[in-house]
């Protein structure tokens, strides 16, 4: 059962056209800077066992997993087939608009870890996605939702565009807990800017993560 947390107004976005159109052309760009990506890869190294089956939901041509670790299986999902096909970490992939259909084509308890990077901010039905993630992640498996303070503004629902970083962390937590996830761990950290700016203390994309472990 999906428990509603957001109001209808909070789900609205400026560009309400089909998201598949926005993602029709591949974008072979990095959405997050080097400092953020390094911190995320470090987090994955700490948290994900090498034998894991990993679901990279809302993925693209990059997965941010440590290059030197071979996971048992990495399943990728996104909105652009060409981007996913270019992602060297994916063993399997599918395209699905989660704002149209939130049912994931995966068996109950079939993944050890589910990851979302810079994607949650585009979900108009995050409750249904969180409920599906609770279904497909195995007991004691993990969910890691990472994001920074950037977004495609017209494609993000009001709950994201109206809120600050703290609101984003708290909204994700509320949505997860309403579906039965336990209280997640929240990370909010500065990163160092890439290159010379970082050497003199310049900051990069701020790093936020919500980490939850599926109960038994």
Ligand X SMILES: C[S@@+](CC[C@H](N)C(=O)[O-])C[C@H]1O[C@@H](n2cnc3c(N)ncnc32)[C@H](O)[C@@H]1O
Residues that bind ligand X (CB under 6 A): 19, 23, 31, 58-60, 62, 78-79, 97-99, 117-119, 122
- The answer to whether 77 and 55 have CB atoms below 8 angstroms apart is yes
Residue nearer to ligand X on the CB measure, 111 or 118:
118
Between CA 89 and CA 63 the distance in angstroms is 7
Q: Least distance to ligand X from the beta carbon of 119, Å?
A: 4
Q: Least distance to ligand X from the beta carbon of 20, Å?
A: 8
Closest residue to ligand X, based on beta-carbon distance: 78
Between CA 172 and CA 184 the distance in angstroms is 9
Q: Least distance to ligand X from the beta carbon of 184, Å?
A: 19
Residue nearer to ligand X on the CB measure, 19 or 112:
19
Residue nearer to ligand X on the CB measure, 140 or 189:
189
**Unique residue bearing structure tokens 């995320």:** 40
Residue nearer to ligand X on the CB measure, 7 or 154:
154
Residue nearer to ligand X on the CB measure, 81 or 162:
81
Q: Least distance to ligand X from the beta carbon of 111, Å?
A: 16
Q: Least distance to ligand X from the beta carbon of 13, Å?
A: 10
Between CA 53 and CA 161 the distance in angstroms is 33
Residue nearer to ligand X on the CB measure, 99 or 173:
99
User: Phi and psi of 113, rounded to 5°?
Assistant: -150, 140
Between CA 158 and CA 165 the distance in angstroms is 14
Q: Least distance to ligand X from the beta carbon of 178, Å?
A: 21
């Amino acid at each position: 059962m999906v428990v509603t947390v957001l109001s209808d107004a909070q789900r609205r976005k400026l560009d309400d056209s089909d998201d598949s159109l926005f993602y029709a052309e591949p974008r072979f760009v990095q959405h997050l800077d080097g400092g953020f990506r390094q911190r995320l890869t470090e987090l994955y190294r700490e948290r994900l066992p090498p034998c894991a089956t990993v679901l990279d939901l809302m993925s693209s041509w990059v997965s941010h997993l440590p290059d030197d670790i071979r996971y048992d299986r990495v399943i990728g999902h996104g909105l652009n087939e060409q981007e996913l096909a270019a992602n060297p970490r994916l063993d399997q992939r599918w395209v699905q608009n989660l704002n149209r259909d939130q049912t994931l084509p995966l068996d109950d308890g079939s993944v050890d870890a589910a990851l979302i990077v810079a994607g949650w901010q585009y979900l108009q039905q995050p409750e249904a996605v969180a409920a599906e993630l609770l279904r497909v992640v195995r007991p004691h498996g993990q969910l890691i939702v990472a994001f920074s303070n950037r977004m495609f503004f017209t494609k993000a629902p009001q709950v994201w565009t109206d809120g600050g970083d703290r609101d984003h962390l708290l909204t994700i937590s509320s949505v997860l807990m309403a579906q039965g996830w336990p209280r997640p761990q929240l990370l909010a950290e500065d990163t160092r800017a890439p290159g010379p700016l970082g050497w003199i203390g310049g900051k990069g994309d701020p790093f936020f993560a919500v980490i939850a472990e599926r109960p038994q």
